[in-house]
Amino acid sequence: MPRTHLPIRRVEEFRDPHPMPRDVWPATLAPVRQLLDEGLDLDPVTVFVGENGVGKSTIVEAIALQFGMGPEGGGTGARHATRPSESDLCEHIAIRRDFGAPRGGFFLRAETMHGFFTYLEEHPNHARPEPVFHERSHGESFLDFVIDRARWPGLWILDEPESALSFSGCLALIGLLQSIVESGVGQVLMSTHSPVLAAFPGATIHEVGEWGLRRTEWADLDLVRHQRSFLESRSGTCATGGTTAVFDISTRISDMSTPTDLPDRRATSRTYFPADDREDIAGLAQLLREIEHAARDEQLAELRAPDGRVRKIPTEIFEVLEQVADALAQGSGVTVARNDTQMTTQQAADFLGVSRPTLVKYLEDGSIAFDKRGRHRRVLLRDLVDFQEQFRTRRRAALRRAARDGQVLERVQDDGATAG
């Protein structure tokens, strides 16, 4: 990360007129006590990771307040407040900044963003219109706020933002914040339970717990080890620091509709998951492959009903059946949807494997067609598939050109060597 003027270089105890009593909450929390006793240096990106109730949100809240932000989120100098619940830790800490560093910033708390967006609507900025955040989903509005303010330099403090965001939303947030930090005008301080957000490139991670604060590599975090253990365990049982947490994943959802707010939805998406015992599915997948190989140049496979009726299976249906069986046999879920299914921008981004802001760029530059109902964009699945295929075609063509150019260069080099 580039060298930058940090809005906060160090946090330490403010002892004037008296130090904070160590037998009074929140100083009774080991991380808070360590912060007061030893101070804490902050880097361009600092991440706090830990269980509920250990004090990480208390610390970031106090730092935000001492920096001049409101306890319920917003920018520096924000006056939005509903019910006071913050500790007085902010009165007992001092922050040290770099000379010439920005003095502005934003404090984002997923749990209070709804009230904060209401405050923005009630106190509009007439000089610079803002997005109507309440007309977006929770996660979309959260990212829209970051996008809208990303060009402003300063300190970004985020308290458990993952509660508003999907997996792809977390990746999009990292991308946005990383661009702010790498521009040399920003700094990020974040508390999180998300292993995705904790993987912020170049971040300094502090694991927060009954031991206090300890600097930890991402792969060594309890959070990461426990989630990896859970995901790798077929039974859904994983060890958690001397105890065993059992997650019941034996009951699977076999029918799941794609969420949408359209009352006139014409198509339904259904997602199917394999059973724990996939032996029968694997056998069917193998049989389908053998039939496909044997019948490639002969007659089509047939489907026989219990009453003796026989129907030939069209090639396109057989190929779908073969792909579904292969995916389920490998333990993957399969979603079946009509190509006229309408998708939200977040669903479309997830389908393409890109961030929502990137998807919006494709919509706005005309790469992908969309329909707009009120303030909400909707994208047809078939348009996403067409875009995906066009992208793949362009990529294959570029690779062929690169290979051809490489061959020409190689011949030129060979001819030059021969002439020499």
Q: What average pLDDT does the segment 178-195 reach?
A: 87
Q: What average pLDDT does the segment 3-10 reach?
A: 82
Residues 155-177: pLDDT tens digits? 989 999 888 888 888 888 898 88
The encoded tokens of residue 150 equal 């990303």
Structural domains of the chain ordered from first start: 10-220 (3.40.50), 274-332 (no CATH), 342-419 (1.10.1660)
- Between CA 149 and CA 128 the distance in angstroms is 12
- Between CA 165 and CA 75 the distance in angstroms is 21
pLDDT at residue 15, rounded to an integer: 85
Residues 31-79: pLDDT tens digits? 999 999 999 999 999 999 998 888 999 999 999 999 988 877 777 766 6
Residues 268-293: pLDDT tens digits? 566 677 777 778 888 887 887 777 66
Q: What average pLDDT does the segment 201-217 reach?
A: 93
Q: Above 70 in pLDDT, residue 418?
A: no
Cis amide prior to 26 (ω within 30 degrees): yes
Angle in degrees, 0-180, between the axes of helices 381-419 and 345-352, rounded to the nearest 10:
30
pLDDT at residue 365, rounded to an integer: 87
pTM, rounded to two decimals: 0.54
Q: 48 or 311, which is more confident?
A: 48
Sorted by sequence, the CB contacts under 8 Å of residue 189 that are 6+ apart come out as 8, 42, 46, 48, 60, 63, 155, 156, 157, 158
Residues 238-253: pLDDT tens digits? 444 433 333 333 333 2
pLDDT at residue 408, rounded to an integer: 53
- Between CA 158 and CA 146 the distance in angstroms is 11
Q: DSSP E strands: which ranges in 220-366?
A: 237-240, 243-246, 270-272, 302-304, 310-312, 334-336, 342-343
Residues 329-376: pLDDT tens digits? 887 777 777 778 888 888 888 788 777 788 888 898 889 999 877 667
- Between CA 15 and CA 45 the distance in angstroms is 27
Angle in degrees, 0-180, between the axes of helices 167-182 and 356-364, rounded to the nearest 10:
80
- Between CA 320 and CA 318 the distance in angstroms is 5
Q: What average pLDDT does the segment 190-201 reach?
A: 94
- What is the band of 180 on the pLDDT scale with cuts at 50, 70, 90? confident
Q: What average pLDDT does the segment 77-102 reach?
A: 82
Q: Above 50 in pLDDT, residue 19?
A: yes
Tell me which residue has tokens 């389920």. 328
Mean of all residue pLDDT scores within the chain: 77
Q: What is the Cα 278 distance to its own chain's centre?
A: 30
- Between CA 195 and CA 182 the distance in angstroms is 21
Phi then psi dihedrals of residue 75, to 5 deg? -85, 175
- Which residues lie across from 215 on neighbouring strands? 206
Q: Above 80 in pLDDT, residue 225?
A: yes
Q: Above 90 in pLDDT, residue 9?
A: yes
Residues 113-130: pLDDT tens digits? 666 667 667 666 666 666
pLDDT at residue 241, rounded to an integer: 41
Tell me which residue has tokens 């699977």. 252
DSSP-based three-state secondary structure for 311: strand
- What is the band of 256 on the pLDDT scale with cuts at 50, 70, 90? very low
